[in-house]
């Protein structure tokens, strides 16, 4: 019996290894998808990528990268998180780090609640000066978005606090410490956590440059029942890659800048992930608890939309047998428009690899802007749908809400199998029938009335064929 279970496990692992994998990333600057996100032959904001946009690309399968999440959805989940009566928050003003919890099963369909994130600036009541984030999150805190115990709203669920990171690198309580900004994150199946910082930081007395990588070994971390880190052994961080090691990898990759010169430095490491091809290397600092680390994918400031790996002395990484970049830094290898000045040069702010699955239907708004300023003459609100059944019926649901004293946007859980786990609109939502184009997209535009008071236009959509609910989106009309 045990042999049969082992055989099944090995077969499942082999099947997973052969299945296509998706690359999910966030760009540091604006970019453009290879197909411009065209709807009915017209260029559309679905093709515009921002530092608040989650992008998916399956090398060898997809011709173009595509949005899968963004600010209009996250604004619904967190509402007016800091209570300033402004729903156009700086909450996700530049996503800094992105990953999945490696001790939990990967999601069957990726939604925002599956992700571990970090942001460039503290938000939601967090006080960076005192490393206090019982509300919101500091810029050195990694967090998830989880449903609140009451069930109606979402909360910032801290996975690893900035205070714990400071303790691990020997800076907690030090008068000369001004906190840390986590710039990149990855986690291996043994529970070891890998980080890089936005600026140079002292790590237990040794300066780690902003293109270096450190590890928090699993054996030095204490976990709660939700598998969040609640404590660390002070001074336990280990330097995995320093600037010399990283720049040696970059030089070996043979990348060229716009002038045709070989790129010799990374300047700032901004995205990390495990290399799915496996293998390991010896870190700069070897400890009994971490004698070797898995090969890592990484990206940084000088190399544009190119993903490198620590394998083979530093080379362009591959996924599904396809290279994740070119030596000339073209964005085409990641499904970006190679003719776009931003899409061809922007580096990445976050990076993860996961088994490929059908994207969850999503809604976006024009230019990714939640704030549309309806008063006094009204303004055009445009909702854009993506990842629906191509050439088929769908329903756009619209609702209005005046937030009188409540920072939260309530939702109710939906039945498993309806894909997006939450419904945000009232029972009296307006139903707008639409038909998707050949790429499974649609757009609906209308004029938001000037009501001379602040209100929200909430939207979700339904794929009639697959009976799936989309992510929500909002337009804030102050």
On the 0-12 / 13-18 / 19+ scale of CB atoms within 10 A, 150 is exposed
pTM: predicted TM-score of the whole model, two decimal places: 0.91
Residue 373 has pLDDT above 70, yes or no: no
Alpha-carbon dihedral sign for residues 262, 264, 265, 266? positive
- The share of the chain scoring above pLDDT 90, in percent, equals 58
Looking at residue 367, what DSSP letter applies? Answer: G
How does pLDDT run across 403-443, given as a tens digit for each residue?
A: 765 667 888 888 888 999 889 998 889 999 999 999 999 99
Pairing of strands 213-216, 193-197: antiparallel
State the average pLDDT for the chain: 86
Residue 340 has pLDDT above 70, yes or no: no
SS3 76: helix
Q: Which two tokens stand for residue 267?
A: 């300047």
Band of pLDDT at residue 446, cut at 50, 70 and 90: confident
Count CB-CB contacts under 10 A for residue 174: 11
Q: How far is CA 7 from CA 12, 15, 18, 387, in A?
A: 9, 12, 17, 36
Task: Name the nearest CA neighbour of 97 among 78, 75, 114, 120.
Answer: 120
Alpha carbon distance 329, 250 (integer Å): 13
Average pLDDT of 196-223?
A: 96
* pLDDT: which is higher, 346 or 188: 188
SS3 364: strand
Band of pLDDT at residue 6, cut at 50, 70 and 90: very low
| 115 Cβ neighbours under 8 A, 6+ residues apart | 54, 98, 99, 100, 144, 145
| CATH 2.20.130.20 segments of the chain | 362-477
SS3 114: helix
Q: Which two tokens stand for residue 477?
A: 């009309």
Average pLDDT of 152-181?
A: 87
What is the predicted pLDDT for the residue at 52? 83
What is the predicted pLDDT for the residue at 72? 86
Alpha carbon distance 383, 398 (integer Å): 10
Residue 45 has pLDDT above 80, yes or no: no
Residue 18 has pLDDT above 70, yes or no: no
Range with lowest mean pLDDT among 64-68, 127-131, 181-185, 394-398:
127-131
How many CA atoms are closer than 13 Å to the CA of 326, on its beta-carbon side?
Answer: 14
| 253 Cβ neighbours under 8 A, 6+ residues apart | 263, 303, 308, 314, 315, 316, 327
What is the predicted pLDDT for the residue at 196? 97
What is the predicted pLDDT for the residue at 232? 97
What is the predicted pLDDT for the residue at 46? 86
* pLDDT: which is higher, 136 or 316: 316
Range with lowest mean pLDDT among 212-216, 317-321, 413-417:
413-417
How does pLDDT run across 97-127, given as a tens digit for each residue?
A: 999 999 999 999 998 888 999 988 887 778 8
Band of pLDDT at residue 86, cut at 50, 70 and 90: low
Count CB-CB contacts under 10 A for residue 330: 19
Range with lowest mean pLDDT among 49-58, 59-68, 248-257, 348-357:
49-58
Task: Name the nearest CA neighbour of 177 among 131, 210, 142, 135.
Answer: 131
Residue 237 has pLDDT above 50, yes or no: yes
What is the predicted pLDDT for the residue at 4? 38
76 within 8 A of 67, measured Cβ to Cβ: no
Alpha-carbon dihedral sign for residues 214, 217, 220, 225? positive
How does pLDDT run across 276-296, given as a tens digit for each residue?
A: 999 999 999 999 999 999 999
Range with lowest mean pLDDT among 21-35, 114-128, 255-269, 348-362:
114-128
Domain 362-477: state its class: mainly beta
């Amino acid at each position: 019996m045990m042999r049969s279970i082992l055989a099944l496990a090995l077969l499942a692992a082999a099947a997973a290894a052969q299945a296509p994998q998706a690359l999910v990333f966030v760009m540091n600057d604006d970019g453009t998808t290879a197909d411009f996100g065209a709807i009915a032959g017209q260029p559309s904001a679905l093709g515009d990528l921002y530092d608040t946009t989650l992008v998916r690309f399956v090398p060898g399968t997809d011709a173009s990268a595509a949005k899968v999440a963004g600010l209009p959805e996250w604004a619904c989940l967190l509402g007016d998180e800091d209570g300033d009566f402004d729903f156009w928050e700086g909450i996700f003003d530049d996503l800094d780090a992105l990953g999945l919890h490696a001790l939990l099963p990967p999601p069957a369909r990726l939604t925002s609640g599956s992700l571990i994130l970090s942001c460039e600036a503290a938000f939601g009541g967090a006080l960076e000066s005192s490393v206090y984030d019982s509300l919101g999150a500091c810029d050195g805190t990694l967090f998830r978005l989880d449903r609140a115990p009451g069930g109606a709203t979402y909360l910032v669920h801290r996975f690893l606090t900035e205070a714990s990171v400071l303790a691990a690198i020997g800076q907690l309580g030090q008068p000369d410490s001004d906190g840390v900004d986590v710039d990149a994150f990855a986690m291996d199946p043994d529970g070891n956590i890998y980080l890089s910082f936005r600026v140079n930081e002292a790590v237990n007395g040794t300066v780690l440059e902003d293109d270096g990588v450190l590890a928090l070994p699993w054996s030095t971390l204490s976990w709660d029942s939700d598998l969040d880190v609640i404590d660390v052994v002070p001074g336990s961080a280990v330097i995995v890659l320093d600037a010399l090691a990283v720049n040696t990898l970059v030089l070996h990759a043979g990348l060229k800048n716009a002038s045709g010169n070989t790129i010799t430095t990374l300047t700032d490491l901004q995205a990390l992930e495990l290399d799915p091809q496996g293998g390991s290397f010896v870190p700069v600092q070897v400890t009994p608890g971490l004698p070797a680390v898995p090969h890592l994918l990484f990206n940084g400031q000088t190399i544009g939309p190119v993903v490198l790996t620590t394998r083979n002395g530093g080379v362009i990484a591959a996924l599904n047998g396809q290279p994740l970049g070119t030596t000339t830094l073209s964005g085409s290898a990641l499904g970006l428009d190679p003719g776009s000045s931003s899409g061809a040069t922007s580096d990445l702010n976050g990076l993860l690899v996961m088994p490929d699955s059908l994207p969850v239907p999503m809604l976006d708004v024009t230019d990714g802007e939640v704030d549309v300023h309806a008063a006094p003459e009204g303004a055009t609100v445009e909702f854009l749908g993506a990842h629906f059944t191509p050439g088929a019926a769908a329903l756009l649901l619209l609702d209005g809400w005046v937030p009188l004293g409540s920072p939260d946007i309530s939702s109710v859980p939906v039945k498993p199998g309806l894909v997006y786990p939450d419904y945000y609109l009232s029972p009296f939502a307006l139903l707008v029938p639409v038909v998707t184009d050949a790429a499974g997209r649609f757009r609906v535009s209308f004029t938001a009335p000037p009501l001379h008071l602040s209100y929200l236009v909430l939207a979700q959509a339904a794929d009639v064929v697959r009976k799936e609910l989309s992510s929500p989106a909002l337009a804030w009309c102050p």
